[in-house]
Structure 1
């Protein structure tokens, strides 16, 4: 498109509410000035509320993008404008609530030019996203900017070094793949923060002060300084997810926690212990622990201290050999295990009032499963996943089930000679090639053993 064609489009006099301006992604501009003029002539009307500009080849944006000619603009999405070396004063857009800036490879620094001359910049902005800013290193923030910001996301900005404290006053902060970003635990004034997401950002630390509102913490492959997670410092925390925290060793706690609902610890190779007196979390419903090779014991006194627990997942924790010496809470309904010792321990730790209905087993090294009497009597649903050495099923061990799911068991050869118990009304078999061949309708050797089952899924 040339500037005259853009002018003839006459967008300024059309009552547009949503506008997307998209250049070809392979387009290489040989005349940036022409590109600038094209965008200038595509000025939309003041009624516009949502604007997207993608793959723009110019070096700067026309004044109508930021001078409040678009006084009703609510959301602005800018992506892959690779030749822009400076961001315009988007802070002047008085109604803007959502701003997403993606793939601006020419941006090295964001400073005063981003905010404009107004006393309060970005006065309506609620969501700010920066994504894939490969060369971005510095961000200067005005103290009077972003008074209503509630979600800040910085993703794949590998050279960014620091953030202003002003920017940490949002309700939700997401930092992903920021290799050089440094935020120390004492420099974060997070007095209003409710949700914190950190992913693959080794020098970002969790805050240790002003945590009265934090409800969700998700850390995956970051916070290398984190060795002890102090649960008492986060009294309103509902969800805690710690993944790939290379130096995390334990969780500490001295006082009961009245809000924690879900706890996940996954692929933390140094993690070795919970609080010595047990985890005091009466409303905790789910515990998921996976890939913690140093852990030997699960939280103590779960039956007493975790009365709301209904979902327990213990996968690839080779040193954990028993679930609980005192027994599991009676509300436990879902259990996932990858150890035969823990499966044996399961029945021993359940009492007559148990609610257990679902057992998910994965990566268990057995040739035959389940032996008679191994599974708890209350169990009605069994899911067997990724057991490469499993060759056969034991009919007597399946007798109380109503649902059976078999997934990714490549050496499972056939169903029991006796067939399946009549109590089973739902059967799923997927990625079990030898067994699927035998269960084909109508000629499979095991087809008559399953033809009566009402809910049947084979190989989809």
Structure 2
């Protein structure tokens, strides 16, 4: 805001709405209006339609007002319920940046959006209903960022439109099942887009046919990006295998393969020198991450930089590495969900482990993960007990969460880590007691949360946990009665705890 004598020229407003805020009526010189995201915020009063506005970020905006903002350079619309943008957006000839975020009902972009010749960045996020771009995007010669491009069989919507665009940053190509010509795929020239850093290649989630699978293999082979790429995601790919170009992309740090149902084997990802995060999900046939035996030798390290792995919905997955070796020294974060046949291998640096869908075979090796600091185990529907000694050597463990073991009869009768700070036990309906030895001497323990369990009493040693600050008990009728102040048989055990709650 600039003050000149008795006149005030409003140049920029950053709006932080608490409940509602009325815009000043004297806003002819307003250049920037940027609404910060805050739950429950809303604008009251007349929205500015003066042509002086250059930057606009709003939610709950009447889109019919767009056409008058002819000097806009930056437009960001978010959390607006609309199926389409008004044709008046064609009036924004000077627009350089268009961001569309969290528009869940948006179906398509305006047909003649390529008339915005100065457009440099088109960012689309969380517009889940969007199924159609605008044709001939390749005519926007200034375009540098297209976060989403949807392939269609209609004229002007093919991959060849990307040929001459000098794209950078992030690109997600959807609708690859609509590719009708391999020559269009070649013309997309992803190999020549050296400034792309993130790439997502996605097919639709529809039925399988042999023709589609063979076509998908050829398409993916021709979509090889430049070797500068850092992040790669491949979704709903129907081929039996992946092209070899993936294993030579030495700059990759993030790789996600999701719902590639026909895939039976991966390339040797273990050779990727800088790969830090790997996500594999919803694939029925794969058994190993890395099967290459050529680097199975003394001193050879696979996945030299890999730190985080997620294995989700892999019903036949057996091992991380086909060959037994101990070179995954950097893996520190592992999430497993729906992998009933998995056998865990030696992971000396593992610090965070989440297992959803537990069985004894899967949990037995946990005792060898001496560096674990966080352990979450969930959904062991058939388990009545944990493997003997499972928690015995976890001397660094700080957080232990056990949830949804409906038939669990007993907890491990062995001391927990002296470093333990938080213990949560929930949805273990058949669990009636907790062994004394489990909690003895835990002078670092700060929080205990117990919910939906059949526990009949608290262990005697809980009165000696002098560092315990929070005890929460929820949906445990017997414990609730025993811990009532004044009348409960266990109340004297917990009277020293500063924050105690029963629900």
Give TM class, smaller chain.
0.7 to 0.9
CA offset digits 1:124-150 (Å, max 9, x no partner): 32x52369x999895333354441321
**Which stretch of structure 1 is more off in the superposition, 142-151 or 247-256?**
142-151
Q: 2:452 aligns with which of 392, 397, 409?
A: 409
Asked if structure 2 preserves the Cα contact closer than 8 Å seen for 1:75 and 1:97, the reply is: yes
Asked if structure 2 preserves the Cα contact closer than 8 Å seen for 1:179 and 1:203, the reply is: no
Q: 1:129 aligns with which of 148, 173, 183?
A: 148
* Structure 2: distance between partners of 1:425 and 1:239: 36
Q: 1:449 aligns with which of 458, 469, 493?
A: 493
SS at match of 2:91: helix
User: Which blocks of at least 5 consecutive residues in structure 2 are unaligned?
Assistant: 1-45, 207-211
Q: 2:340 aligns with which of 265, 287, 293?
A: 293
* Structure 1: distance between partners of 2:336 and 2:159: 40
SS at match of 2:324: coil
Is 2:323 the partner of 1:276? yes
Asked if structure 2 preserves the Cα contact closer than 8 Å seen for 1:429 and 1:436, the reply is: no
| Gap change, CA 1:64 and 1:211, over 3 Å in 2 | same
User: Which blocks of at least 5 consecutive residues in structure 1 are unaligned?
Assistant: 1-7, 25-34
Q: Using the TM superposition, give the Cα deviation of residue 259 of structure 1 relative to its aligned residue in structure 2, in angstroms.
A: 0.6
Could you state the TM-score of these two structures normalised by the residue count of structure 2?
Answer: 0.67
In structure 2, the partner of 1:335 is 375
In structure 2, the partner of 1:258 is 304
Q: 1:64 aligns with which of 91, 100, 103?
A: 91
SS at match of 1:412: coil
CA offset digits 1:99-119 (Å, max 9, x no partner): 569477784x7542x332x6x
Could you state the TM-score of these two structures normalised by the residue count of structure 1?
Answer: 0.73
Q: Using the TM superposition, give the Cα deviation of residue 199 of structure 1 relative to its aligned residue in structure 2, in angstroms.
A: 4.9
Q: Using the TM superposition, give the Cα deviation of residue 272 of structure 1 relative to its aligned residue in structure 2, in angstroms.
A: 1.3
| Gap change, CA 1:178 and 1:204, over 3 Å in 2 | farther
Asked if structure 1 preserves the Cα contact closer than 8 Å seen for 2:307 and 2:332, the reply is: yes
Q: Using the TM superposition, give the Cα deviation of residue 451 of structure 1 relative to its aligned residue in structure 2, in angstroms.
A: 2.3
Aligned ranges for residues 29-178 of structure 1 at < 5 Å?
42-52=67-77, 55=82, 60=87, 63-65=90-92, 69-71=93-95, 73-77=96-100, 79=103, 80=105, 86-89=111-114, 92-96=117-121, 98-99=123-124, 102=127, 107=132, 111-112=135-136, 114-116=137-139, 120-122=141-143, 124-125=144-145, 127-129=146-148, 139-153=158-172, 160-161=178-179, 164=185, 165-166=188-189, 169=193, 170-174=196-200, 178=204
For this pair of structures, how many residues does the alignment match?
416
SS at match of 1:287: strand
Is 2:213 the partner of 1:213? no
| Gap change, CA 1:450 and 1:208, over 3 Å in 2 | farther
* Structure 1: distance between partners of 2:404 and 2:48: 63
Q: 1:225 aligns with which of 238, 253, 263?
A: 263
Is 2:473 the partner of 1:426? no
CA offset digits 1:144-191 (Å, max 9, x no partner): 444132112357x69755894445853223456832597535333132
CA offset digits 1:389-447 (Å, max 9, x no partner): 11222233311222453344342333236754334513443543323454455665543
**What root-mean-square deviation, in Å, do the aligned CA atoms of Structure 1 and Structure 2 show?**
4.3
| Gap change, CA 1:11 and 1:85, over 3 Å in 2 | closer
